[in-house]
Amino acid sequence: MRPTDVLKPGSTIGILGGGQLGRMLALAAARLGLHCHIYSPEKDSGAFEVARAFTRADYEDEAALAKFAAAVDVITYEFENIPAATAAFLSKRKPVHPNPKVLETTQDRLVEKNFISALKIPVAPYAPVHSAAQLANGIEKLGLPAVLKTTTMGYDGKGQIKIMPGDDANAAWRSLKNKPCVLEGFVNFQREVSVIAARSADGKVECFEVTENDHQNHILKTSTVPAKVTDETAKEAERIAAKIAKALDYVGVLGVEMFVVKVKGKQALMVNEIAPRVHNSGHWTLDGATVSQFEQHIRAVAGWPLAKPLRLGRKVQMTNLIGDEVHDLAPWLTLPGTSLHLYGKPDARAGRKMGHVTRVWPAK
């Protein structure tokens, strides 16, 4: 981004995707006096109602994309499965942040893991699976249990299957339609953590503090700060996130999920996954920090300086409201220090992220 690309208040940010992440980005942009234009193929996109304008059209609709690009000053996205052709089409017309090459890296688990490995950053053990022979080799190398995941399009536990000792590995692969896969070895981790990092157009990086995450049924359930990691581990986690952001020439917010493991009696880190966007494990920053991940992302894509995030409270915990948990709000509404966020989704389907709550324990 050139210095001339610093957006003035009143400029318009185009956002691809209209789910809760787009919605919370739009709310953050509005606070800063920036308009948003949401592009999403889905009706009832929760982001539509909090943006100045929206386009409901498919990602392949070039006429709609061209009109969208003409109406905005800069373009960003709320999820990583934007078709490559869409990103390429748009980036010829307006700046797209993070740059579309990031999508090429992160849309494919294997490309992503190879990319991180090449940076000499430890990655959870993995093996490519493009053939039955590779599957057998992978199991030989990583042992069982292991998880077989399609290289593309998986999230929240979709597109993956666990292989236990004695299971028919080939049958497992067939259940994923023999798509290109990655086999991920079992990691005996102490805890799961993530770092939400923001990188500005001029290359500065600000990390939110390391967050500890708990999953239920492959879906994030809680994120808590401070995480139970040593200062050394926390610093290393931030260093890893910053290194990845720099290597991707990243502008915006990214989430890096990591495992904390014990190696020779000491904590060590292994990267699990990169999310090239604001991330569920950073939702606590809306209420528990002096700047949110959403505002940091908007600042970065607008060419504005990043804020230095400071935690508010001695402890902060975010809990996702999944499926029909959203129907039982009463206890949250009166719990001291607790903020409710609902995403405006009409149907509380099982496994669907409907909202979240954040509890902040103020410092004494």
Which residues are annotated as part of the binding site? 109, 149, 154-160, 184-187, 192, 215, 272-273
Residue 102 or residue 302: which is nearer to a copy of itself going by CB?
302
In whole angstroms, the minimum distance from the beta carbon of 98 to a copy of itself comes to 21
* Residues lying near a copy of itself in the complex (CB under 8 A): 9-10, 23, 27, 30-33, 35, 49-52, 287, 290-291, 295, 299, 304-305, 307-308, 310-314, 326, 329-330, 333-334, 336-344, 346, 355, 360, 362-364
Q: What b/e sequence results for 292-303 when a residue is b if at least 16 CB atoms lie within 10 Å of its CB, and e otherwise?
A: bbbbbbbbbbbb
Residue 172 or residue 198: which is nearer to a copy of itself going by CB?
198
Residue 242 or residue 326: which is nearer to a copy of itself going by CB?
326
In whole angstroms, the minimum distance from the beta carbon of 15 to a copy of itself comes to 14
Task: Report the alpha-carbon distance of residue 318 to residue 125 in Å, rounded.
Answer: 29
Task: Report the alpha-carbon distance of residue 69 to residue 157 in Å, rounded.
Answer: 33
Residue 3 or residue 10: which is nearer to a copy of itself going by CB?
10
In whole angstroms, the minimum distance from the beta carbon of 283 to a copy of itself comes to 12
Q: Count CB-CB contacts under 10 A for residue 64.
A: 16
Residue 100 or residue 313: which is nearer to a copy of itself going by CB?
313
Judge whether 165 and 151 are in contact, CB under 8 Å. no
Identify which of 358, 346, 173, 191 has the alpha carbon closest to the alpha carbon of residue 282. Answer: 358
Task: Report the alpha-carbon distance of residue 141 to residue 125 in Å, rounded.
Answer: 9
In whole angstroms, the minimum distance from the beta carbon of 237 to a copy of itself comes to 21
Which residues are annotated as part of the binding site for ATP? 109, 149, 154-160, 184-187, 192, 215, 272-273
In whole angstroms, the minimum distance from the beta carbon of 260 to a copy of itself comes to 26
- CB < 8 Å & 24+ apart, contacts of 138-141: 138/183, 139/163, 139/169, 139/183, 141/185
Query: Alpha carbon 38 to chain centroid distance?
Result: 18
